[in-house]
A = this chain, B = another copy of it.
Amino acid sequence: MAPTFADVLAAAARIAPFVHRTPVLTSTSVDEWAGARLFLKGEHLQRTGAFKYRGATNAVQMLSGDAAARGVATHSSGNHGAALALAARTRGVDAYVVMPAGASPVKRAAVERYGASVIECENTPTSRERALRAVVARTGAAAVHPYDDDRVIAGAGTAALELMQDVPDLDVVIAPVGGGGLCSGTALAAHGCNGAVRVLGGEPALADDAARSLTTGELQPPRPPATIADGLLTGLSERTFGVVREHVEQIVTVTEDEIVEAMHVVWERTKQVIEPSAAVSVAAARAARLDGARVGVILSGGNTGVVDR
């Protein structure tokens, strides 16, 4: 069963009391650089600093009272862990976050700051899965995957839903692609609002599993991590690939230089701090040569910091 536009609409209503309705930023000088009119959906200003808080909140709020009382658990070396921690704290329940021993101290501090228990594991998929299963067995917590979860995908899609509401006449919508949760949710929201809008993905050329999957029609494994856009290292799941294949016209790949240039353009011209993973969709908006089109771009997150206004 795949998530639907109705799930995105339900998520939007459910999470509205808890999330920021983030601003849409524009800049004529960024537009000149990009060769298109960009409408940047500022999810770097979302609580916890990234769109991840939307999906995590949707998942936590959907739990029954009994299930929620046993807490939630996930594995994450990055923003999803912090997002789930705050979403759990907001509902007043426990959160357990499995993190590899070498994870960024800043990201770990963010997770702990929001009151979650951190469980260390080795930095391998096997160790991570084993540690998560163990904490779930011990506590009865509900596991919430960073992207391979309908509730998370629907929540992620609410950013694009707001963007389509705020700027109804977009020609194109672009989201970055890692595990595909944001891109899937964005596609569902965009086509739910307007079947004619073109949905593109942006992906680092050094982590182009989604582009290869869409081209070949078969789910391709991720390459070894190499890109500066460290939020986009993971590969699509069958679930997210299903949505991407149905809704996404093209995955635009961008070089490391293009990512860095886009990040600096956004920093310099809009004074907004975004991380390389968020800059990927900005770089893709330029690389796609959209020739004056009105383009919605999901700025997926900030850096390792905390936005909790």
Contacts and interface: CB of A to CB of B under 8 A. Distances in A.
A176 B259 CA distance: 34
B271 A309 contact: no
B268 A309 contact: no
B29 A269 contact: no
A305 B26 contact: no
Copies of the chain in the assembly? 2
Nearest to A275: B271
B267 A306 contact: no
Interface string A263-288: 00001111111100000000000000
Nearest to A45: B271
Contact of A273 (B26, B271, B306): B271
Contacts of A302: 271
A307 interface: yes
Contacts of A268: 273, 303-306
A267 B271 contact: no
A271 B272 contact: yes
Contacts of A304: 268
A97 to B, nearest CB: 19
A37 interface: no
B306 A44 contact: no
A302 B269 CA distance: 9
Top 5 nearest A-B pairs by Cβ distance?
Answer: A268-B305, A271-B273, A271-B302, A44-B271, A27-B309
Given A267-B273, A271-B274, A271-B302, 5 more contacts: A268-B305, A269-B308, A270-B309, A271-B272, A271-B303
26 contacts: A26-B309, A27-B307, A27-B308, A27-B309, A28-B308, A28-B309, A29-B306, A29-B308, A44-B271, A49-B271, A267-B273, A267-B305, A268-B273, A268-B303, A268-B304, A268-B305, A268-B306, A269-B306, A269-B307, A269-B308, A270-B309, A271-B272, A271-B274, A271-B302, A271-B305, A273-B273
